[in-house]
Amino acid sequence: MALKTVFFFTPDEILQSAPMYQYLDRKLFKEAYQIACLGVTDTDWRELAMEALEGLDFETAKKAFIRVQDLISSTEVKVEAFLFVKKVNLGFRVQGQPLWQVY
């Protein structure tokens, strides 16, 4: 009779990268953040932060940068959010459309 090897995983050993990327593909940044909190690599955290930043979800981007202790990028998120709000308030246009219609 052969012995079977049994593996036991604790929750912190199971990475949640794949589900997080599924949410990122759908631009559901807050949900991706919640999944990432269950356990992903630092690289995944940075990817989440950059995707959220590009998707103009500044709060999620800031929180994701903080999780990887990238405080410089977290500060840049605040500056970018501030500049975006200023541009919207000033009525800047992109390709002939008001900025608020582009984003």
pLDDT tens digits, 4-16 = 665 555 555 567 8
102 pLDDT higher than 50: no
- What is residue 14's DSSP assignment? S
**Beta strand 93-94 pairing with 97-98:** antiparallel
C-alpha torsion angle, residues 52, 85, 91, 27 (rounded to 10): 20
Work out the burial of residue 58: count CB atoms within 10 Å of its CB; fewer than 13 is exposed, 13-18 middle, 19 or more buried. middle
Global pTM exceeds 0.75: no
Q: Which two tokens stand for residue 42?
A: 């630092």
CA distance 3 to 47: 42
**Contact, 27 vs 50, CB < 8 A?**
no
The 10s digit of each residue's pLDDT in 44-76 is 999 999 999 889 898 898 899 888 886 667 677
Rounded to an integer, the average pLDDT of 16-35 is 94
| pLDDT band, very low/low/confident/very high, at 30 (cuts 50, 70, 90) | very high
